[in-house]
Amino acid sequence: MLVEDDEDMRFALVVELEAAGFEIHDVADIAAADRALDGVDYACVVFDRLLPDGDSITYVHRRRKEGWPTPVLFLTQLESVADRVAGFDHGGDDYVVKGADLAVVTARVQALCRRAGRARPSVLSLADLEVDCARRETRRGGVLLTLTHKEFAVLEHLLTRAGTTVTRSELIEHCWDASAEPMSNVVDAVVRRLRQKLLEPELIQTVRGVGFRLEAP
């Protein structure tokens, strides 16, 4: 689904995505998207950030807290680092600034759809850490933790690779997008917040100059 209020942009994206083989449902505001999402399981949703009835990151954030798993790409003119971080923290899986070639948008949608289709175990665990992938719940020592969508994605991937070193570029590929601009500082910020929320003893180790490793204390 494409949620975009600019008619010219919406038309151009529909043409581009249909040419790549996607069946597109396009709407112009959050209210219409909300009605559609209650009845259809979409492979991916592309949201403009600033829509006539609000900022779509607020809507996506609410949906994520309800356990909504559908991949989301934010397509917007808001291009600062703070705007991008906000998009990821509120549940976005990728973030593209308007002005990028439409072929780039298509490639990122394809990557999100491929990643969403990969099979995952329903529950992952290490020591006293337990991640329920289906319910999107994380517990440490039996205590339920509150994680953002991106924190959950990073922790989930580290847990699937527990005991091995995961590079920053791999985290970007699996938790953001392989074709995204390098954002190692954003990855570090997410990992730093994860460490704070997971408390002691520490589970995430930094491998200097390489990335991170999740292992039992």
At 117, the pLDDT band (50, 70, 90 cuts) reads: low
Residue-by-residue DSSP string for 71-91:
-EEEEES--SHHHHHHHHHTT
Residue written as tokens 């570029």?
A: 169
Cα–Cα distance, 56 to 52 (Å, whole number): 10
Which stretch of 13-17, 55-59, 79-83 has the lowest confidence by average pLDDT? 79-83
Tell me the average pLDDT across 126-130.
92
pLDDT value of residue 177: 55
Query: Whole-angstrom Cα distance, residue 107 to residue 94?
Result: 11
Question: CATH for 2-116?
Answer: 3.40.50.2300
Average pLDDT of span 64-70: 84
Q: Domain ranges in the chain?
A: 2-116, 123-214
Q: Rounded to the nearest 10 degrees, how much is the dihedral formed by the CA atoms of 171, 177, 180, 184?
A: -10
Q: Is the pLDDT of residue 179 over 60?
A: no
Burial class (CB in 10 A: 0-12, 13-18, 19+), 104: exposed
Q: CA-CA distance, 171 to 158, in Å (whole number)?
A: 8
| Fold for the domain defined by 123-214 | Arc Repressor Mutant, subunit A (1.10.10)
The pLDDT score that the predictor gives to residue 49 is 92
pLDDT for 112 equals 87
Question: Quick one: pLDDT at residue 181?
Answer: 54
Location of structure tokens 């500082």: 185
More confident residue, 158 or 149: 158
The H or E element containing residue 2 is strand 2-3
> Does the structure show a pLDDT above 50 at 119?
no
Closest CA to 173 of 134, 118, 97: 118
